[in-house]
Amino acid sequence: MSTELTAEQLAQLKANSGGDTIASTSLPVLNRVQLNGEVQREEDAKGNEKRVAPYWRKSVFVGKDQDAIPEKENLGTKIEVRLVKIRRKQVARDDRGATVLSTSQYSDYNQIVSVYKEGKKVAVMPANEIYSTFTDLKPRTQMEVYAIMPDGERVLFIFKGTAINAGKRPEGKPSFKQYVSALNKDGGIAFFTTKLGGVYVKDGLEFNVVTFEKGRETTTEEKLEILNWQNELDEVMRKYDENNARKDIPSTDTDSVAPELTDADMPNFTSGSTDDDTF
């Protein structure tokens, strides 16, 4: 560990990084990054069909109209980022991949959240009661991870399905939960960069799976940058969480209220477990 950070700063950095700390009532608008979940194919120069390697793509929301279809940017097959903060929400989708139910973002499984259905706030309840209450819709956990790109851009990564669960993953490739648990033994997500990739999996269905690998130790300057953003997020999230726990006012969670785009190309393959929020 670097000796240029005080013991208090190091402790705060570790505490701020995980999903156990509850932190404007609206979340910051950020560009979102995901692995393409659907296997794509294209023809080569000889007319033969070949499979396209899994790649990361960024959906551009910053500076765009809320209802506009976001532009997509191909970021390549591998990227190395700095993870800053882990949050969650629960989402249910129909057969086309369109969102039919979602919750406000939260940190802790016992936290009170707002529930949205067809764009309207319909309930306020603990996150751990969502699945049993809306069993017909089969909501699943979606990890929303704040991160810093190599060029310094602040973005939001979306991990779901096999990215966060151990089922249907290639041997030796930890899920996000397993990866974070291992990093916590070395200080936490802020103390190392994270290398993100993707692999092809065929298990009845064909799909691409996110891979996680510990990178280099972050520098003192990088740790301080992470700490500063964590503190900014904590203040925003504290107000946001308080607002979404109240039953007497409509939520300002525009991310949940706004109609979400169909993402059938990002299938929500699951391991069969419904207890997705236990780490």
Domain tally for the chain?
A: 1
Is the confidence at residue 56, as pLDDT, over 60?
yes
CA separation for the pair 213, 4 (Å, rounded)? 26
Is the confidence at residue 133, as pLDDT, over 90?
yes
Q: Does 13 reside within a domain?
A: no
Mean pLDDT of 42-57: 80
Residues 67-120: pLDDT tens digits? 888 999 999 999 999 999 999 999 998 888 788 999 999 999 899 999 999 888
Which value, in Å, is the radius of gyration of the alpha carbons in the chain?
19
Please state, rounded to an integer, the average pLDDT across all residues of the chain.
82
Q: Does 1 reside within a domain?
A: no
β-bridge mates for residue 35, sequence order: 56
Closest CA to 175 of 157, 161, 187, 163: 163
pTM summary value: 0.80
Q: Does 76 reside within a domain?
A: yes
Longest dimension (CA), the chain: 64
Is the confidence at residue 241, as pLDDT, over 80?
yes
Residues 147-193: pLDDT tens digits? 999 999 999 999 988 898 877 788 889 999 999 999 999 999 999 99
Residues 192-204: pLDDT tens digits? 999 999 988 887 7
Q: Does 11 reside within a domain?
A: no
The number of beta carbons lying within 10 Å of the beta carbon of residue 60 is: 13
Whole domain around residue 66: which residue ranges? Answer: 23-257
CA separation for the pair 119, 99 (Å, rounded)? 9
Is the confidence at residue 62, as pLDDT, over 50?
yes
Q: Would strands 56-60 and 31-35 be described as parallel, antiparallel, or unpaired?
A: antiparallel
Q: Does 239 reside within a domain?
A: yes
Q: Would strands 154-160 and 31-35 be described as parallel, antiparallel, or unpaired?
A: parallel
Of 51 and 69, the one with more pLDDT = 69
The number of beta carbons lying within 10 Å of the beta carbon of residue 178 is: 16
Q: Does 115 reside within a domain?
A: yes
Is the confidence at residue 2, as pLDDT, over 70?
no
Give me the helices (H) in 92-198, please: 130-133, 176-184
Q: At what angle are helices 7-17 and 220-244 packed, to 10 degrees? A: 50
CB-neighbour burial class of residue 88 (10 A; exposed 0-12, middle 13-18, buried 19+)? buried
Q: What is the pLDDT of residue 15?
A: 63
Q: Does 3 reside within a domain?
A: no
Task: Give phi and psi for 220, each to the nearest 5.
Answer: -60, -45
The number of beta carbons lying within 10 Å of the beta carbon of residue 226 is: 25
Cβ contact 196:211 at 8 Å: yes
